[in-house]
Amino acid sequence: MGEVILTMKGIDKSFPGVHALDHVDLEIRKGEVLALMGENGAGKSTLMKVLTGIYKKDEGTITYEGKEVEFENPSAAQDAGVVIVHQELNMLSHLTVAQNIFIGREIMKGKLIDDEKMNEEAKKLFDKLNIEIDPKEIMGNLTVGKQQMCEIAKAISHDAKVIIFDEPSAALTEAEIEELFKIIRDLRDKQIGMVYISHRMDEIKAITDRVTVMRDGTYVGTLITKDSTKDDIINMMVGRVIYEDPKTESAVPKDAPVVLKVENLNAGKMVRNVSFELRKGEILGFSGLMGAGRTETMRALFGADEKDSGDVYINGKKVDIKCPQDAVKEGIGYLSEDRKRYGIVVAKSVAENTSMATMENFMNGLFINKKKEEEVSWQHVKALKTKTPTVETEVVNLSGGNQQKVVIAKWLTRDCDILIFDEPTRGIDVGAKSEIYTLMNELVAQGKSIIMVSSEMTEVLRMSDRVIVMCEGRKTGELDISEATQESIMHLATQRD
């Protein structure tokens, strides 16, 4: 590892009701990948936002290339060579891919923007990343995973000396992650210092040199990755051991009634003649590679996207779901993979988000019963261990994992019998993951039924009673958990026409 390029010492930052950073230290060296780990709400993203000028620190010093600095904004940080790839996407959906990558530094031809040249340069970036994305495509038409790869390409397009990756792989396939790692190794060889924020232990062991751990806004310690075990890191993060053993047999009785039946569902190119059943008290896993059509299937089922054909039965009765309101009335709740876009309203409070799907239950005539709303919200905050100072705190001020818990609370308040969890632990740390897994098991024990879409194989094998596998819009197989392995799932996930 090379010399120190950037040091943060005694960094302190508070928000209303939250002491987010309590005199935190961090050291980044040239030619190394430093993992920054901690549970959701530990302060990792906040520390990086202080570094790149998104937030102003209250106390502490930042030393970069031997000089004390404080970047006024992200543009100033980028100009100095400090670039961040955000967990939450910061792209403009109505612009093209190339326009997003070069926004604010457009390539000009005279007084006009040279879109052709920007398309060429964007293509070179994608070729370097070994991914196929059309620079002329409208950003909003891309999947979350493809948008994330564009975010990474944008960061790499700067002449960076320090790159911060904030959960870069959360929406990527295994193949895309491996391509990302190739880029990171290449950047390391070029003596670029990198911070890698991730909750995926296998990634940390594969790509990082050191691990710095934070807990509740404080610095816990730093380990040499190759000399540390997974349990060492987890114990520093959460102070307890968390087990991830796969499920070996289904917990669902053979005679459990079918609560949901989908027959020959079709919706555009990504949902092609999909049929399956969900039983009472079951966790039905949906596995497949990115672009397999899992999310599209759930959105068509929920009425968020229009279906072309197909029948849906709930408890043996045929239902006509044309919009999400129809699905909710039939007792279906949907936790989207893109929580900020579809799951929560970040400018509203925890309480307002919790009551959102059941507002009629909180009305006194024309007015909202705020006391009842607050009481119900606190019940879910305690049950889900949501880290928030009050239920009046705006959701935008919570970490990603705690935002996800607010989405779950919304549907628990609705008391839906069928819950669709689309990437329920995306961007969530191991501690919060364990809590959500426990919650899901409690829900099915109460007689709820869950469809779980997940790109994490360990999650599918740990939680599912049965696994449906999709590839390119089709259901390619169905496995009881007792016969499901990573190999058998991957075989079906790559079984094309």
**CATH fold of 258-493:** Rossmann fold (3.40.50)
State the CATH architecture for 4-238: 3-Layer(aba) Sandwich (3.40)
User: Can you give the pLDDT at residue 172?
Assistant: 74
In the chain, pLDDT over 90 holds for what percent of residues? Answer: 58
Asked if the model's pLDDT at residue 234 lies above 80, the reply is no
Categorize the per-residue pLDDT at 176 as very low, low, confident or very high, splitting at 50, 70 and 90: confident
State residue 338's pLDDT score: 67
- The residues spanned by each domain of the chain are 4-238, 258-493
**Comparison of pLDDT for 332 and 168, the residue scoring more:** 332
465 pLDDT above the threshold of 60:
yes
pLDDT at 295: 93
| Mean pLDDT to the nearest integer, 57-70 | 97
pLDDT tens, residue by residue, 83-110 = 988 766 778 999 999 999 999 889 999 9
Write down the pLDDT at residue 131. Answer: 79
4-238 and 258-493 in the same fold = yes
Q: Please give the pLDDT value at position 444.
A: 95
Of the given ranges (25-39, 117-131, 251-265), which has the lowest mean pLDDT? 117-131
Q: What pLDDT is attached to residue 313?
A: 98
When pLDDT is averaged across residues 206-227 and rounded to a whole number, the result is 94
* Range from 36-45, 109-118, 423-432, 449-458 carrying the lowest mean pLDDT: 423-432
pLDDT of 87 reads 65
Using the predicted structure, report yes or no on whether residue 59 has a pLDDT greater than 90: yes
**Taking residues 161-174, what's their average pLDDT?**
83
Determine how many CB atoms are found less than 10 A away from the CB of residue 445.
10
Q: So what's the pLDDT on residue 166?
A: 86
Question: How much is the mean pLDDT over the chain?
Answer: 89
pTM here is 0.59
**Higher pLDDT pick, 176 / 60:** 60
Is the pLDDT assigned to residue 343 strictly greater than 80? no
Confidence of residue 419 (pLDDT cuts 50, 70, 90): very high
In the structure, what pLDDT confidence band is assigned to residue 155 with cuts at 50, 70 and 90?
confident
pLDDT at 495 over 90: no
pLDDT digits (tens, 9 = 90+) for 423-442: 888 777 777 788 888 889 98
pLDDT at 240: 57
- Of 23-27, 358-362, 461-465, give the lowest mean pLDDT range: 358-362
Query: What are the tens digits of pLDDT across the range 239-267?
Result: 655 556 788 999 999 999 999 999 999 99
* Three-state SS annotation for the chain: CCCEEEEEEEEEEEECCEEEEEEEEEEEECCCEEEEECCCCCCHHHHHHHHCCCCCCCEEEEEECCEEECCCCHHHHHHHCEEEECCCCCCCCCCEHHHHHCCCCCCEECCEECHHHHHHHHHHHHHHHCCCCCCCCEHHHCCHHHHHHHHHHHHHCCCCCEEEEECCCCCCCHHHHHHHHHHHHHHHHCCCEEEEECCCHHHHHHHCCEEEEEECCEEEEEEEHHHCCHHHHHHHHHCCCCCCCCCCCCCCCCCCCEEEEEEEEEECCCEEEEEEEEECCCEEEEECCCCCCHHHHHHHHHCCCCCCEEEEEECCEEECCCCHHHHHHCCEEEECCCHHHHHCCCCCEHHHHHCHHHHHHHEECCEECHHHHHHHHHHHHHHHCCCCCCCCCEHHHCCHHHHHHHHHHHHHHHCCCEEEEECCCCCCCHHHHHHHHHHHHHHHHCCCEEEEECCCHHHHHHHCCEEEEEECCEEEEEEECCCCCHHHHHHHHCCCC
Average pLDDT of the residues in 285-300 = 91
361-401 pLDDT, tens digit per residue, is 898 888 888 999 999 999 999 988 888 999 999 998 887 77
Residue 88 is predicted with a pLDDT of 64
Q: Which residue has the higher pLDDT, 30 or 17?
A: 30
